[in-house]
Each structure stands twice: as structure tokens, then as C-alpha cells.
Amino acid sequence: MSFRQTRHHAAAPVFFLIMIVLGLHGCSSDEAAAPRSAEVLFESAMQKFQDEDYQEAYEEFRLVTLQYQGSTLADDAQFHMGECKFRRGEYILAAYEYEVLMQTMPTSEFVPNARFHRAMCFYEMSPKSYLDQENSRKAIDEFQAFLEYHPTDARVPEAEAKISELNAKLAQKEFENGVIYMKMEYYRAAVVSFDFVLEKYHDTEYAEPALLRKGEALLLRKRFPEAVQVLQVFLEKYPSSPLRAEAEGLVREAAEKDKENARTIRAKAAADSARSSTSR
């Protein structure tokens, strides 16, 4: 046997060994690259969610919605995408994910939850009363939509309570605006603010002081008859109010100034008449 033939026979086993290793590696790579089923992905995402690893859970729920849009787990995954963002305090993003579910899967059993939790996103972003209340108004709109779409849901009382709470906050802001106008001596603007509270938020705790302060603002504007009328309505409507003594004092002041103003007008009229007679 020649040297070349000996080399060829020696190399053959090595070649086949390399091919076998490469084949095994290819098989293992194929297995690793094989996509996970919707069920496996969802189960993995739920485990991360329960472990409070919300960002990783979000990414796997997202894979379910992208790779298995038609599966029975797609709506559940979409809802939990919102839950992940909500629990991370990312309320704007959470509200978006809930909206996606409501728009793209309107018949899903998770829609009531999504609608309620979307309202809760804006509720959580509702700031102190002295700040801009856009999110408070959005939360009210979302809770009202929840009541309209799901009137028999067990969370209806909670939604109604949230609406009342948010309305009280809006009333507080408007009332405080009126108080600020009073301090600045912008009495006309103060009356507008107090009237808004009385018309829009008449069922809140701020309606009572708003009515009193409206009477006071009218008194300071020297609209004495109107002030007396408003303050008398206050006394009739809130007979046991802790503000009653103040209201009674304002009524007396407005009535006295109204009489004094009437005397001044009569005296001026008499003086004008006397001057006119003298000139003739």
C-alpha cells in the first residue's frame, strides 16, 4: 500500500467523525430553534408574572400575541400585557394595552376587566386638587363608560364611588379657584367659579361653602339684594350648617348696606330735585 493510500484510509474515520459531530450539532441547534407553543410561552410568562418579573413577563406575553394571534390565549396575554405595565406604575402604557384589547378583541371575556383597569390607570394618575385635572376627567369618563357597558358587574359600586371621589376633587379645585379670586378681589370671577361648583358639583361637600362664598362675593360687589337672596337660600338649605352664624352675619350686613344704599339714592334724588327747583 502506498503512502498516499495509507493517509487516505487514516483520514476517512476522522472525516466521518467530524460529519457525525456536525450532524449532532445541527440537530441540537434545530431543536433549540424550534418555536415554543402558545401554551408553553404563556405558562412561562405567567410564572414570571407571578414572580413579579413584570418586564420579562410582558415580553413573553407579547410573543404570544405576535406569534399566536388566533389562539385562545391571545386575549389573555394581551390583558396581562396591560397588567404588567400597570403593576410597574407605567399607567399610560397600561391604558394603551387595555385599549388594544378592547378594540381588537371586543368579544373577549377580559374586556370588562380591561375597561375597569383602564379607568384605574387614569385614576392613579389623578393629581392633587390644585394641579391640572385632565386625568381626573379622563378617569370619570372611563368609569362612566364601564358603568354603561357593564351595568351588572360586581365592581359597579366601586366605579360609582371613584366617580364621586373624583367629582369632589374637581369641585375642590373650582372652589379653591373662587377663593383665590376673592383674595385677589376679582369678585365677578369668584362668582363664576362658585356658580360652576353649584351647577356641576351640587352633590359634593363643596356646594355648601360655595353658596355661602357666592353670597359674600355678591356683597363685596355691592349687589346687596342679590347677596341677601343667596344667603337666605343658604340658611334655608343648610339650617344646621357650621357656617350658619357667618351666613347670618353676612345677611345682616348685606341688608343694612342695602338700606343705607337706598337712603343714599333717595337723598341724592332729593338733592337733585332741590337743585332743579332752585335753578328754575
- Residue ranges of domains in the chain: 41-108
**For 140-160, what is the mean pLDDT?**
98
C-alpha torsion sign, points 49, 51, 54, 59: negative
User: DSSP readout, 89-128?
Assistant: T-HHHHHHHHHHHHHH-TT-TTHHHHHHHHHHHHHHT---
6-49 pLDDT tens trace: 444 544 444 444 444 445 444 444 445 567 899 999 999 999 99
**For 86-90, what is the mean pLDDT?**
98
User: CATH classification of 41-108 is 1.25.40, yes or no?
Assistant: yes
Q: Can you state the angle between helices 74-87 and 91-104, rounded to 10 degrees?
A: 160
What pLDDT is stored for residue 3 in this prediction?
43
**For 80-107, what is the mean pLDDT?**
98
**How far apart, in Å, are the Cα atoms of 60 and each of 51, 67, 74, 110?**
14, 10, 12, 19
Comparison of pLDDT for 159 and 19, the residue scoring more = 159
Q: With contact defined as beta carbons under 8 Å apart, do 91 and 125 qualify?
A: yes
Question: Can you tell me which residue has the cell 377663593?
Answer: 179
Sorting pLDDT into bands at 50, 70 and 90, what band is 271?
A: low
**Could you tell me how far CA 63 lies from the centroid of its own chain?**
30
Comparison of pLDDT for 83 and 21, the residue scoring more = 83
What pLDDT is stored for residue 272 in this prediction?
60
How high does pLDDT run on average in the chain? 89
Cell numbers representing residue 3 in the block: 503512502
Question: Can you tell me which residue has the cell 380591561?
Answer: 114
Cell numbers representing residue 9 in the block: 484510509
pTM of the model: 0.80
What gap in Å lies between CA 221 and CA 31, rounded to an integer? 84
What pLDDT is stored for residue 269 in this prediction?
62
State which amino acid sits at residue 54: Y
What gap in Å lies between CA 230 and CA 246, rounded to an integer? 13
Cell numbers representing residue 15 in the block: 472525516
**Could you tell me how far CA 272 lies from the centroid of its own chain?**
62
Q: Exposed, middle or buried: residue 235 (CB in 10 Å: 0-12, 13-18, 19+)?
A: middle
Largest CA distance in the chain: 158
**For 207-220, what is the mean pLDDT?**
98
Whole-number percent of the chain with pLDDT over 70 = 82
